[in-house]
Amino acid sequence: MDHVEATELFSSYWDKDLAPEQAARLEEHLGACVVCRREYEAFEQAVGALGSLGRELAPEGFVQGVVKRVRKRSHGRFFVGRRAAVRIPYELFSVVMLAILLAIYLVLQLSQPGHLRLP
């Protein structure tokens, strides 16, 4: 395990979300690597300090303000209530295009009965 992989696992290790073998590998690395051990200790202190802070409730209308700001900055690409007819899913478009191509192929093949070559 290298330093980058170890530091990426700190949060999951702190939350006890790692698989036992991954946690064992990280613990082994922390035992052997002074740099990562110090970084993890700093991580523990920072997370511990954050945990001691009280929870605050968002002010009234906060969510609506965030949605409005995102809409404004993204020029309407996010959180827009468009109708399904306006936004055609790519999967449906792909199936329709394949059906059209198959129909064209079959019409061309059937228009020449002597050359019919179906798979």
8 Å CB contact between 18 and 26 = yes
Tokens at 6, concatenated = 């170890």
Provide the number of structural domains found in the chain: 1
Domain assignment present for 47: yes
Higher pLDDT among residues 86 and 67, named by residue: 67
How would DSSP label each residue in 7-43?
A: HHHHHHHHTT-S-HHHHHHHHHHHHH-HHHHHHHHHH
d(CA 2, CA 25): 11
Domain that holds residue 17: 3-51
User: Would you state the pLDDT for residue 56?
Assistant: 82
Domain assignment present for 117: no
Domain assignment present for 96: no
Domain assignment present for 94: no
Domain assignment present for 113: no
d(CA 34, CA 76): 49
User: Would you state the pLDDT for residue 22?
Assistant: 92
Tokens at 7, concatenated = 């530091």
Percent of the chain with pLDDT strictly greater than 70: 83
Domain assignment present for 84: no
Domain assignment present for 32: yes
Domain assignment present for 16: yes
Global pTM?
Answer: 0.46
User: Would you state the pLDDT for residue 41?
Assistant: 93
